[in-house]
Structure 1
Amino acid sequence: MNLTIWGAAKQVTGSMHLLEVGDYSILVDCGLDYERDTFQEENQYFPFNPASIDVVILTHAHIDHSGNLPTLLRMGFNGQILCTPPTADLTELLLMDSVNIFLSKQQKRSRGKRSGSGPKPLYLHKHVMDTVERFITIGFHKIFQIRQGISLQFIPVGHLLGAAAVVLEIEEQGVTKKIAFTGDVGRRNYPVLVDPQPLPAVDYLVTESTYGGRIHSKDTTITAKLKDIIEETCIKFPGRLIIPAFSIGRTQALVFTLNKLFSSGELPPVKIFVDSPLAEFATDVYRKHHQLLNDEAQDFYHRSGDEFEFDSLSYVQDKRESISISNYHEPCIIISSAGMLEGGRIQDHLYHNIQNYYCTILFIGYCAKGTLGHRLLRGDSIVRLRHRDLSVYATIKKTDLLSGHGDHDDLMSNIVGQDPNQLKKVFLVHGEDSSLSSLASAIEAAGYTAVIAEKGEPYIL
């Protein structure tokens, strides 16, 4: 069989891995590549014929893993999409949101131009619904026979509700081989989510490398960190704390943490706005699949009720209500998407607060190169919003304590638990150059063979 990495090779976004077993083609993930300025136009071109793909396996719902599925269908794919039940629900929400973002960008680019000018959306709501109809959901740890000689098992990896490593057992010419794709690996003791579970013994492993060479902060907890920042921003001074957060995953973890913090009485009440309709819909999915949340969340629910509701918290749906937050003059916390600041209501809040000395912008997740979030984190003193260059007077802070990705040690734990006599190669994807190199060196030092995957290069397994 042949493995070809077509996305997230020597970069983080755009995961797309093609596994060919004889004349049968399996695509693991089909994500949007966000690391190009013209990503919308370039994502419509596939390096293979979409009609030649027999089945897609989706590790989790995040758009850099799922976001190009409707394009794949629009270009000829006609097979099933296999994933866990929460992944199916969350992916539908994210894909619908993508359409809205495409249409919004098209409208903005077309203003002042002739009708019909500007790039067309990658796909429309109809294509998303066509995609949703292709989902076949499979629970964790269940053996699913894809076809004769190929079986699938999903292993929980944390990171996001429903996220799974893909383990394929393939019989080819009388020889059985196992290959695992980690998707995105979560971290232990993360709010709401279960810990990543060990992978079975495999012959080949394709692993993400986002935090290769980096160790997450361990000198404090996310609750203590948030308490300090809230006290400094909203209690000692009448300021506002803006937290860019992905609507799905990061927001639920953050809301639960704030619920614990304010419910304990450690801080006086502070108004909290979750300004993302998508986040509210996603939270309903978390409630629907409540049995998959971790023990801490389950215990909190039995003691105190809904993990995602409390007195000072408001979910903002209406655009008018979102705009009115600018006129709220009391200290407050605003949680809004998108996490990398590329579109969404967060840009409205930035526009009104980026020059506010009493504002703190707290990043709680990864920002890809080229994004507005990345520019703020690297210290740009001027950023462009709404066609205006604005000086950055707000305080910019960052914490990795709510990062949904496992660090170097978490990634290595998936590898060192493998039999070095059985595991032939570890392919590294979904990471920047420094992370890939650091993880590769550690893997080699542990006695395994590491390959930093090259985009488009076929590997014979």
Structure 2
Amino acid sequence: MKLTVWGAAQQVTGSMHLLQITGYTILIDCGLDYEKGTYQEENQYFPFNPAEVDVVILTHAHIDHSGNLPTLVRMGFEGQILCTAPTADLSELLLLDSVNIFLSKLHKNARSKRGRQGPKPLYLQKDVMETVDRFVSISFHKPFKINGSIAVTFIPVGHLLGAAAVVLSVTENGRTQEIGFTGDIGRKGYPVLIDPHPLPPLDYLVCESTYGGRFHSKEATLQETLIKTINESCIKSPGRLIIPAFSIGRTQALVFALNQIFSKGLLPPVQIFVDSPLANYATDVYRKYHNLVNEEAKEFYQLKGDEFEFDNLTYVHDKKESISVSNYLEPCIIISSAGMLEGGRIQDHLYHNIQNYYCTILFIGYCAKGTLGDRLLRGDPIVRLRNRDLMVYASIKKTDLLSGHGDHFDLMNTVTHQDKQRLKKIFLVHGELKSMNALASAIADVGYEVGIPAKGESIEL
């Protein structure tokens, strides 16, 4: 049995791991690699023949794990894609949204280059729908036989609705081995989502390392942070609070946290707008799979009703409504995508408010280097929007309390749950090299063997 790490190797995005067993090939995740400069062109080339992959196993819906599946299908993959039911539904939303982003970039490049087209879309809607037809939904904790010698089990890990670690039981040459892939590990006590479940005893573990060497702040709770920020932005002064948020996962967690605050009367009422069509659709998926949310959310539902609906909360649907939000003159909270400010309706709200002294922009997620969000966070005094240079007079704030990733402690907890006598080796993926080295050092210190594979490196298991 041979494992080859083809993505998220010494970097965060592009998760893609090939497991070759005698006569059978499994691909775990097939994500977009955002660290390639012209990712629409470069992601279409696979270092293996897609037609030779027998089955894909998808850990969760985020684009850096699912976003290149339609390309795989377009280039010859004919097998099934195994995942949980929420992952299937959320992946469809995100993949269709990716098509819109590709087409938007194509049209934008055509306009800016006077008719010269930029990169062709990586895939189109028909490719997405063909991909969706291949999804096969598997329940948590129920082993699913792929063939006579291979079974897969999905273990809940929080992070996103439906997100799972994958445990493969492989019998080869009369010997059975258990190989685990963590996907992305969530954090304990996260709004709406369940805590990560421990993994069963394994022989090998492929582990994410996003927050290796880093710890989430514990100076204040999420509720305390939101109350303080809203009070300063919208109540003490007649301003507005703009929160860039990823449409799937982050927005639902934030809305539930706000619902808890206002339903308890911890703040006077403030109008809240959720301005993201994708977030609206994703919230319906969260409602559909309400049996998979955490106990806190279920109890809230029993006592007060829908976690994602409350007085003074408005879901914005069309562009006309979005424009009316920009013209709303009372203090308000605007939640909009995209989280890194690299597109979406959030840019309209920024354009109208970046020079507003009474506006606060609160970042609740990661912003990749070079993005507009990153430039604001590093303190750039001028940003460019709609071909205009605008002075930054709005207050810029950040919290990591809504990060969906477990920190160094959570990662170590996942590792140390394993039996040292049985676990032969841990392979770290999905993290910047600095984070990987920090986590690798901590893992080695407690007596486990650990490695950091390079891209394309193959390991005999």
Residue 241 (structure 1) aligns with: 241
SS of 1:165 mapped into structure 2: strand
5+ residue gaps, structure 1: none
Which moves more between the two structures, 434-443 or 375-384? 375-384
Cα distance in structure 2, aligned partners of 1:309 and 1:233: 22
Cα distance in structure 2, aligned partners of 1:68 and 1:238: 45
Q: Deviations over 1:294-334 (max 9, x none)?
A: 10000000000000001110001111111221111111111
User: 1:50–1:114: structure 2 CA closer, same or farther, 3 Å change rule?
Assistant: farther
Task: Assess if the C-alpha contact under 8 Å between 1:36 and 1:370 holds in 2.
Answer: no
Q: CA RMSD in A?
A: 1.2
Cα distance in structure 2, aligned partners of 1:358 and 1:46: 49
Residue 47 (structure 1) aligns with: 47
Q: Deviations over 1:253-301 (max 9, x none)?
A: 0000000001111111111110001111111111110011110000000
Confirm or deny that 1:372 pairs with 2:398: no
1:106 Cα shift? 1.0
1:386 Cα shift? 2.4
Residue 339 (structure 2) aligns with: 339
Q: Following superposition, which runs of at least 4 residues in structure 1 exceed 3 angstroms of deviation? A: 112-116
Residue 76 (structure 1) aligns with: 76
Cα distance in structure 2, aligned partners of 1:37 and 1:385: 21
Matches within 5 A, 1:55-94: 55-94=55-94
Confirm or deny that 1:31 pairs with 2:31: yes
Residue 143 (structure 1) aligns with: 143
Cα distance in structure 2, aligned partners of 1:45 and 1:418: 36
Task: Assess if the C-alpha contact under 8 Å between 1:154 and 1:166 holds in 2.
Answer: yes
Q: Deviations over 1:365-410 (max 9, x none)?
A: 1222332222222223333322333332221111111110001010
Residue 255 (structure 1) aligns with: 255
1:147 Cα shift? 1.2
Task: Assess if the C-alpha contact under 8 Å between 1:59 and 1:65 holds in 2.
Answer: yes
1:219 Cα shift? 2.4
Query: What is the identity, as a one-letter code, of the residue corresponding to 2:291?
Result: Q
Task: Assess if the C-alpha contact under 8 Å between 1:241 and 1:333 holds in 2.
Answer: yes
Cα distance in structure 2, aligned partners of 1:436 and 1:460: 21
Cα distance in structure 2, aligned partners of 1:172 and 1:188: 36
Which moves more between the two structures, 167-176 or 362-371? 362-371
Q: Deviations over 1:22-73 (max 9, x none)?
A: 2311111111112233122211111111111111100000111111111111
SS of 1:3 mapped into structure 2: strand
Query: What is the identity, as a one-letter code, of the residue corresponding to 2:427?
Result: F
Query: What is the identity, as a one-letter code, of the residue corresponding to 2:97?
Result: D
Matched positions, count? 461
Which moves more between the two structures, 78-87 or 98-107? 98-107
Task: Assess if the C-alpha contact under 8 Å between 2:107 and 2:117 holds in 1.
Answer: no
Matches within 5 A, 1:424-439: 424-439=424-439
1:113 Cα shift? 4.5
SS of 1:360 mapped into structure 2: strand
Percent identity (aligned)? 73
SS of 1:78 mapped into structure 2: coil
Confirm or deny that 1:323 pairs with 2:323: yes
User: 1:389–1:21: structure 2 CA closer, same or farther, 3 Å change rule?
Assistant: farther
Cα distance in structure 1, aligned partners of 2:89 and 2:401: 26
Matches within 5 A, 1:437-448: 437-448=437-448
Confirm or deny that 1:152 pairs with 2:115: no
Matches within 5 A, 1:200-215: 200-215=200-215
Matches within 5 A, 1:382-461: 382-461=382-461
1:11 Cα shift? 1.2
Cα distance in structure 2, aligned partners of 1:457 and 1:388: 46
Confirm or deny that 1:216 pairs with 2:205: no
Which moves more between the two structures, 224-233 or 105-114? 105-114
Which moves more between the two structures, 214-223 or 135-144? 214-223
SS of 1:111 mapped into structure 2: helix
Query: What is the identity, as a one-letter code, of the residue corresponding to 2:178?
Result: K
1:10 Cα shift? 1.3
SS of 1:405 mapped into structure 2: coil
Residue 289 (structure 1) aligns with: 289
Matches within 5 A, 1:264-303: 264-303=264-303
Task: Assess if the C-alpha contact under 8 Å between 1:209 and 1:428 holds in 2.
Answer: yes
Cα distance in structure 2, aligned partners of 1:100 and 1:429: 29
Cα distance in structure 1, aligned partners of 2:225 and 2:335: 16
Query: What is the identity, as a one-letter code, of the residue corresponding to 1:433?
Result: L
SS of 1:419 mapped into structure 2: coil
Cα distance in structure 1, aligned partners of 2:13 and 2:125: 23
Which moves more between the two structures, 19-28 or 304-313? 19-28
Cα distance in structure 1, aligned partners of 2:87 and 2:272: 28
SS of 1:81 mapped into structure 2: strand
Which moves more between the two structures, 135-144 or 346-355? 346-355
Cα distance in structure 2, aligned partners of 1:388 and 1:49: 46
Q: Deviations over 1:329-352 (max 9, x none)?
A: 111111111112222111211222
Q: Deviations over 1:392-444 (max 9, x none)?
A: 22211111111100010100111101111111111111111221111011000
1:112 Cα shift? 5.3
Residue 118 (structure 1) aligns with: 118
Task: Assess if the C-alpha contact under 8 Å between 2:62 and 2:94 holds in 1.
Answer: yes
5+ residue gaps, structure 2: none
Task: Assess if the C-alpha contact under 8 Å between 2:109 and 2:116 holds in 1.
Answer: no
Task: Assess if the C-alpha contact under 8 Å between 1:239 and 1:331 holds in 2.
Answer: yes
SS of 2:241 mapped into structure 1: strand
1:116 Cα shift? 6.6
Cα distance in structure 1, aligned partners of 2:192 and 2:280: 16
Cα distance in structure 1, aligned partners of 2:77 and 2:97: 22
Task: Assess if the C-alpha contact under 8 Å between 2:105 and 2:118 holds in 1.
Answer: no
Query: What is the identity, as a one-letter code, of the residue corresponding to 1:402?
Result: L
Which moves more between the two structures, 375-384 or 48-57? 375-384
Length-normalised TM-score, structure 2: 0.98
User: 1:271–1:318: structure 2 CA closer, same or farther, 3 Å change rule?
Assistant: same
Length-normalised TM-score, structure 1: 0.98
Cα distance in structure 2, aligned partners of 1:19 and 1:372: 37
Cα distance in structure 2, aligned partners of 1:54 and 1:215: 39
